[in-house]
Amino acid sequence: MSLFTCDLILRGALLDKETPEDIAISDGRIASIGADLPAAGAVEIDLGGRVVLPGFVDSHIHLDKACLLCRCQHTSGGLKGAIAAVSQLKAEFTADDVYERGRRVVEQAILQGTMHMRAHTEVDPRAGLRSFNAIKQLKSEYRSCLDLQICVFPQEGLTNDPGASELLLEALSNGADLLGGCPYTDTAPYEQLNWLFKTARDFDVDLDLHLDFDLDPSGSLLDEVCRLTDQAGWHNRVAVGHATKLAAMTEPSFTAHVARLKASGVVVTALPSTDLYLNGRDIGSLSPRGIAPVHLLAEQGITCSIATNNVLNPFTPFGDCSLLRMANLYANCMHLSPDDFDACLSLITHSAARLMGLSDYGVMVGNAADLVVLDATNRLEAFGAIAQPLLGFKSGKQTFERPPARLFRETAK
């Protein structure tokens, strides 16, 4: 085999085969994958047969209201209580405050292997554009480690919140990547949806909606979203997050909704930690899981993802930004077996990347070298044990290192 020039070779990377291979990287891209690759002048890193995955994709997270537990003790009032608690604080948010809390989460996510992120950011008369401007700054300053999309949306309604629509239009004119919505908090949810679809077409941006976030199977807005998607020709450009009504429907109703979603190309994100924490509080000891079964949707060809949503705030007073932990939590809740582990991994990698419209993704020759190395030498055990990310590479450049834990044990004399 002839020598070729590259910048970096990762030796002994366990991909989707049983035998480790080498990954050669040149100019930020994967130049070759194979056994015992020869190379001249390259930096070499021996991974020792550890699992290598494409950088994780967090398709739904709220950076602007993360890390609020120290100033907001309201953590048990359900969805309405969480919205109200954050609403009281939001008017006091400064750009510096949002930046600092968002920075903590962004850095933690990067250290957990996340390399692509969609940040849902509240824009309304209380927050103004302060949070949006702070997230724009984070997007710029961390671009070497993380590709960040900004989705602006009105958390507390649109038609019932004068001034919100004007602020959203201003954000879309000044760097927002896509538009979101939250119809279930609006006094006129259908009117909000109509405005969102019209505005998305006007600005030629995708939509990502908070939708159907309860366990009452009636009153779903999924059919209306699909109808508007068909009408706008926005197939594969509309995402819905939560959609927990899907977890409470009868089998015939669930099947019908899945078929409708598939026909319209509407994609779905489950948010396991938040959905578990906020749903079913009034049911008692027989509380349901309350998470949209997105693995079943994925089996029918619908693009789906699992994402973080909230971190250390009234909506979710937990979180360490580990998408691998989030996918593992989902697998536990859905009674999934090791045969399903790869499908769950796809929900934070390949499928999530499709949901976010990422075309240059995956551990394949020619793609950007966005790679995360896990502290495991077996893919099943990496997922089942929530293996720690040890190294990350964004466009071939190392972005973090987390040395393996060392045990100091006295031996018997």
Tens of pLDDT along 106-139?
999 999 999 999 999 999 999 999 999 999 999 9
Report how many helices (DSSP H) and strands (DSSP E) the chain contains, helices first.
13, 17
Q: What is the average per-residue pLDDT within 161-174?
A: 98
CA distances (Å), origin 241, targets 166, 201, 212, 279, 284: 24, 20, 8, 14, 25
Q: Across 141-249, where does the E strand assignment appear?
A: 147-153, 178-181, 207-211, 238-242
Strand partners, 39: 4
Residue 76: what pLDDT? 64
CA-based torsion, 46, 50, 55, 58: positive or negative: negative
Same domain, residue pair 245 and 104: yes
Strand partners, 22: 34
Same domain, residue pair 174 and 279: yes
C-alpha R_g of the chain: 22
Same domain, residue pair 198 and 256: yes
For 363, phi and psi rounded to 5 degrees? -85, 80
List, for residues 199-223, the tens digit of each pLDDT value.
999 999 999 999 999 999 999 999 9
User: Taking the complete model, does pTM exceed 0.85, yes or no?
Assistant: yes
- Which residues form the domain of 120? 56-355
Average pLDDT over all residues of the chain:
95
Same domain, residue pair 43 and 158: no
Same domain, residue pair 165 and 50: no
Residue 18: what pLDDT? 87
φ/ψ bin of 170: left (φ > 0), alpha (ψ from -120 to 50), beta (otherwise): alpha
pLDDT above 70 covers a percentage of the chain that reads 98
Residue 33: what pLDDT? 97
CA distances (Å), origin 105, targets 23, 56, 88, 209: 30, 15, 22, 22
Same domain, residue pair 41 and 133: no
Choose between 91 and 110: higher pLDDT. Answer: 110
Counting the structural domains of the chain, the total is 2
Sequential DSSP letters for 347-366:
TTTHHHHHHTT--S-SSSTT
Is a pLDDT exceeding 50 seen at residue 167? Answer: yes
pLDDT band at 3 (very low <50, low <70, confident <90, very high): low
Same domain, residue pair 225 and 303: yes
d(CA 178, CA 391): 31
H/E segment holding residue 297: helix 294-299
CA-based torsion, 156, 72, 64, 79: positive or negative: negative
Same domain, residue pair 369 and 395: yes
Same domain, residue pair 205 and 324: yes
For 409, phi and psi rounded to 5 degrees? -125, 135
d(CA 275, CA 211): 12
Domain for residue 67, yes or no? Answer: yes
Residue 88: what pLDDT? 85
Place of tokens 């029918």: 300
CA-based torsion, 158, 163, 164, 165: positive or negative: positive
Give me the CATH number covering residue 292.
3.20.20.140
d(CA 331, CA 325): 10
List, for residues 8-59, the tens digit of each pLDDT value.
999 999 998 889 999 999 999 999 999 999 877 899 999 999 999 999 999 9
pLDDT band at 4 (very low <50, low <70, confident <90, very high): low
Same domain, residue pair 180 and 76: yes
Domain for residue 31, yes or no? Answer: yes
Same domain, residue pair 156 and 185: yes
Domain for residue 276, yes or no? Answer: yes
Neighbouring CB atoms inside 10 A of 285's CB total 4
For 173, phi and psi rounded to 5 degrees? -80, -5
Same domain, residue pair 164 and 306: yes
Is a pLDDT exceeding 60 seen at residue 1? Answer: no
Query: Which tokens belong to 195?
Result: 């405005």
For 115, phi and psi rounded to 5 degrees? -125, -5
List, for residues 223-248, the tens digit of each pLDDT value.
999 999 999 999 999 999 999 999 99
Domain for residue 235, yes or no? Answer: yes
List, for residues 327-342, the tens digit of each pLDDT value.
999 999 999 999 999 9
List, for residues 280-323, the tens digit of each pLDDT value.
888 877 778 899 999 999 999 999 999 999 999 999 999 999 99
For 230, phi and psi rounded to 5 degrees? -60, -45
Place of tokens 């930096």: 43
pLDDT band at 144 (very low <50, low <70, confident <90, very high): very high
DSSP state of 294: H
